[in-house]
Structure 1
Amino acid sequence: MDLLIRLPWALGLILAAIALSSWQKLGLEGSLALAAGRTIAQLTVVGYFLGVVFAFKSPWAVLAVLGGMLIVASIVARNRISQKIPRLLPLIAGSILVSTALTLTYTSLLIVQPQPWYDPQTVIPLAGIVLGNAMNGAAIAGDRLVSTLNSSQLEIETHLSLGATPQQAVAQYRRDAIKAGLIPTINSMMVVGLVTLPGIITGQLLGGADPIQAAAFQMLILFMLAFATLLTTILVTQGLLRQFFNQAAQLILW
């Protein structure tokens, strides 16, 4: 409760940032003010909404929340890749759904073991973290692959004319796209605890949790993100390739 009372003082940091922007003539004052306003409004609504869901403790409510999060994540990722490619939204949604479901199922059954299985205070935060990273991985890998294919028409068609299959002609481009989608996650794992303390461990430490337990939970989160993001990028890039070639193995540019 003390934090809620003192939270308005945090606005001083945003006001200072706006003042710095004005002083340096960066033109970011409006963006900073709008971002701060949206942060306050969105997180306030989310806080009250999740409070209701946590109190209700219904599996249907939890699934509804997760479904809404999945839809938003899929639309955001689709918009960052392209809106011209047919059936892109269901491809991304299906990829994120599969990777998130497998990750949460494995984690819930073998590691966290919430009681009941749909415990909203466990499932929703974990799903939100996985969905967010899967969304970013899908967007980065998908955008990288689409842009590379569109700019490499001559090379791809040369490989095809020499007898390569579509998968062989674009194999390196796909690998590069998948690696690009994994870079943020791998970088986070490389420097965690040395350069940064991620939000999960920071929140637990501020909440008074044992540092070793907080560190263990952060390890779990990072391992979940590595698997989910990799699986998502694999599924998204594989699905995208099918949209760039017809049945005659001819390249189609979007």
Structure 2
Amino acid sequence: MTAAMDISWSDLALIFTTLLIPLGVSRYYQLKIERELIISVCRMALQLILVGIYLEYLFQLNNLPINILWLLAMLLIGASSIVSKAHLPKSKLLLPVIVGLSVGLLPLLALICLFIVRPTPFYNAQYLIPLAGMLLGNSLSGNIVALQNVFNSFEQRRAEYEGAISLGAPVNYACQPFIREAIQKSLAPSLASMSTMGLVTLPGMMTGQILGGASPLVAIKYQLMIMLAIFVMLSISIALTLSLTIRCCIDKNGLILVVANKK
């Protein structure tokens, strides 16, 4: 196996020119996403370069308290992004989302680092931070979809919910159909991805390891591990986030205290 080939900055600039295509599509169909696309790409590039520089320092330092602080920062930023993209108030929902992500992430991360991969030391930043990033990153969209679906259901099927409450149903029972549907919709893309993986797609972690010179069989084992962990974390975080959200956003009489901010 050969080591990964480097990409020059001039070659990387070449791929940036392909953005003219989606910009042209946006212009032609009047999608009005040109400004957002340019800002998003610039932010992505700047953030990745800065994180790359910082991670090189973090890997060399390999300090447990600093690694923990970095994990906490990732959880906070991820939770904030979920609530913002779902157009919901952070004052009510930031804590439930943080708890959902934390309970989904930390036990799985401990299992992987202590019993499966077993890096030395167990908090080795080279493994801990990328694994946490993959688990969190793949949980963001699922949690956003789940929250949006629940609050859309409260708005579009309000009569159904209020009818159940007026008949004396407990809040959890009245919300159950909405929660069930939200979880199904948020897990569907991951289920579809897993069912076609290897035939339709070669996933990112496996591809990265192969490009880095790892054996395809070793890369497959890592990919199986991370995909199972992602799905488990997604299931835990969504279920717990929605459960805590219901408790925070609906009072004991069934009155909905929070609505989505439509933009």
Q: TM-score, normalised by structure 1?
A: 0.90
TM superposition shift of 1:16? 3.6
Q: Where do residues 108-127 of structure 1 align in structure 2 (5 Å cutoff)?
A: 108-127=113-132
CA contact (8 A) 1:86 1:243 kept: no
TM superposition shift of 1:10? 2.7
CA contact (8 A) 2:83 2:90 kept: no
CA contact (8 A) 2:250 2:256 kept: yes
Does residue 107 in structure 1 map to residue 112 in structure 2?
yes
CA contact (8 A) 2:251 2:257 kept: yes
Number of matched pairs: 253
Change (3 A) 1:68 1:198: same
TM superposition shift of 1:24? 8.5
Does residue 227 in structure 1 map to residue 229 in structure 2?
no
Alignment counterpart, residue 14 of structure 2, candidates 12, 36, 51: 12
Instruction: State the one-letter code of the partner of 2:172.
Output: Q
CA contact (8 A) 1:160 1:166 kept: yes
Cα RMSD (Å): 2.3
The equivalent of 1:245 in structure 2 is 250
C-alpha separation between the residues in 2 aligned to 1:97 and 1:252? 25
Does residue 167 in structure 1 map to residue 137 in structure 2?
no
Change (3 A) 1:115 1:85: closer
Does residue 209 in structure 1 map to residue 239 in structure 2?
no
TM superposition shift of 1:53? 0.5
Q: Where do residues 1-254 of structure 1 align in structure 2 (5 Å cutoff)?
A: 3-4=6-7, 6-18=8-20, 21-22=23-24, 25-26=27-28, 33-84=38-89, 86-252=91-257, 254=259
TM superposition shift of 1:179? 1.4
C-alpha separation between the residues in 1 aligned to 2:247 and 2:26? 49
Stretches of structure 1 that go unaligned for 5 or more consecutive residues are: none
Q: TM-score, normalised by structure 2?
A: 0.87
Change (3 A) 1:173 1:213: same
CA contact (8 A) 2:105 2:132 kept: yes
CA contact (8 A) 2:96 2:241 kept: yes
Q: Can you list the C-alpha shifts for 1:185-233, whole angstroms capped at 9, x where unaligned?
A: 2122111111111110001111111111101110001000010000000
TM superposition shift of 1:17? 3.3
Percent identity of equivalent pairs: 26
C-alpha separation between the residues in 2 aligned to 1:19 and 1:136? 25
Q: Can you list the C-alpha shifts for 1:93-138, whole angstroms capped at 9, x where unaligned?
A: 1110111011111222221112111100000000001111222222
TM superposition shift of 1:161? 2.2
Instruction: State the one-letter code of the partner of 1:205.
Output: I
TM superposition shift of 1:154? 0.8
CA contact (8 A) 1:96 1:135 kept: no
Bigger RCO of structures 1 and 2 (CA < 8 A, at least 6 apart): 2
Determine helix, strand or coil for the equivalent of 1:3: coil
Determine helix, strand or coil for the equivalent of 1:170: helix
C-alpha separation between the residues in 1 aligned to 2:57 and 2:98? 27
Change (3 A) 1:252 1:221: same
C-alpha separation between the residues in 2 aligned to 1:42 and 1:8? 19
Instruction: State the one-letter code of the partner of 1:58.
Output: N
